[in-house]
Amino acid sequence: MPTTVETIGGAVDTSRLGITLMHEHVIVLTPEIQSAYPHYHDWDPETVIPQVREAMRSVKQGGIDTLVDATVVGLGRDMNVIRQAVDGTGLQVIAVTGMYIYNSLPWLFRYGTGYNAPDPVPGGPDPLLDELFLRDIQEGIQNTGIKAGLLKCATDSDGLTPHVERVIRSCARVSRQTGVPITTHTHSVTRGGLEQQRILCEEGVDLGRVIIGHSGDHTDLEYLERLIEGGSLLGMDRFSPAFPPSLEVRVGIVADMCERGYADRMVLSHDVTAWADWYPQELDFFHLSMSDRYLYIPKVVVPALKDRGVSQAQIDQMLVLNPQRFFSGD
């Protein structure tokens, strides 16, 4: 199994990951809108990138060692922008490949093998998606040489559409071929984690190398235990004032799961971004400064967990040891 994981700065030994936030975003863009309507949002790389870089430097100084940037196709991934935003900050950033869709693939992936050509057979190869994800892992993203250290797929309120299933199965095949693990996005109502596990298992993926994302959105401990019994880790990864349920509820879920002995099956994060063109910046969507969005766990969540009886050893397990084990496959 691997002892290193790829980061924007190159391969890093998993023992050196330190405190790791397992599901974040640095900069989220909508490239098609930026190109078609450059006046519409205040995206100015010469202004925004230095601001984000300073925030990332503060995040590192605040005690965070590694950040997983889960920004893939569908979220405006621009590896050159992300690299500039973290360069010189000391923060280790793991890039991700995969695709973020809720329903349909872009036209290229629907007609790329011919107009009205049938979709790939479930369980068989997907020449378009497989090759692109492999390229990001083996050669690098967007000709930068920066290799992806993680795969990402998603299901949401639309459920398991045929195109969503294509992405999940492609991530599974590429993960099995390369040894690169998988993280997911799930929807709090539809409980798509179990369906994700079923498909990944059918494709032969070791579910111990899978994080079922946004599991902390759920208050049903029985559902969370079923995911753990399936073998996966839980992404308790939306600790932010922007996302319901409340901090008290989210902390209570993690504390209850720790009390049941599952500290070794959870990872923590925020699912925030320093800058996104999805909304006017003056709205302050995350209700925190750029850097404090990524320091909410050490500053607010960790003390709240300790108040609920979670030990420092359990916190270290979720923030340090579990990410190390996840990436190393140990």
Q: Say which range, 2-6, 16-20, 147-151, 201-205, has the weakest mean pLDDT.
A: 2-6
Mean pLDDT along residues 51-63: 98
Provide the pLDDT for residue 29.
93
CB burial class (10 A; 0-12, 13-18, 19+) of residue 186? Answer: buried
Return mean pLDDT, the chain.
94
> Alpha helix (H) ranges present in the chain?
31-36, 45-61, 79-86, 107-111, 127-138, 162-178, 193-202, 221-229, 247-259, 290-294, 296, 302-307, 312-316, 322-328
Residue 281 has pLDDT above 80, yes or no: no
- pLDDT of 284 reads 77
User: Could you tell me the pLDDT band of residue 116, with boundaries at 50, 70 and 90?
Assistant: confident
Q: 283: pLDDT confidence band, cut at 50, 70 and 90?
A: confident
The per-residue pLDDT for 167 is 96
Contact assessment for residue 89 and residue 57, using Cβ atoms and an 8 Å cutoff: yes
Residue 232 pLDDT class (50, 70, 90 cuts): very high
Pair of tokens at residue 157:
């309120």
Homologous superfamily of the 4-109+134-148+219-328 domain (CATH):
Metal-dependent hydrolases (3.20.20.140)
The pLDDT assigned to 2 comes to: 65
How far apart (Å, rounded) are the C-alpha atoms in residues 276 and 285?
A: 10
Residue 1 has pLDDT above 70, yes or no: no
Q: Per mean pLDDT, which range of 33-42, 54-63, 313-322 is the poorest? A: 33-42
Averaged pLDDT for residues 157-162: 93
Average pLDDT, stretch 80-84? Answer: 97
**pLDDT-derived band at 43, boundaries 50, 70, 90:** confident
Cα separation, 176 vs 137, in Å, equals 13
The pLDDT assigned to 225 comes to 98
- pLDDT score, position 120: 80
User: Residues 126-150: pLDDT tens digits?
Assistant: 989 999 999 999 999 999 999 999 9
20 contacts 67 by C-beta, under 8 angstroms: yes
Angle, CA 303 vertex, CA 19 and CA 91 arms, to 5°: 25
% of the chain residues with pLDDT over 70: 99
Q: Is the pLDDT of residue 189 over 90?
A: no
User: Residue 34's Cα: distance from chain center in Å?
Assistant: 24
Among 18, 33, 186, 6, smallest CA distance to 96 is for 6
For residues 251 and 309, is the Cβ–Cβ distance under 8 A? Answer: no
Domain parsing of the chain, residue ranges:
4-109+134-148+219-328
Q: Residue 230: pLDDT above 90?
A: yes
Each residue's pLDDT tens digit, 236-270: 999 999 999 999 999 999 999 999 999 999 999 99
Contact 21, 269 (CB under 8 A): yes
Say whether pLDDT at 122 is over 80.
Answer: no
Strand order, beta sheet including 92-98: 20-24, 66-69, 92-98, 150-154, 182-185, 210-212, 233-236, 266-268
Amino acid 127: pLDDT: 87
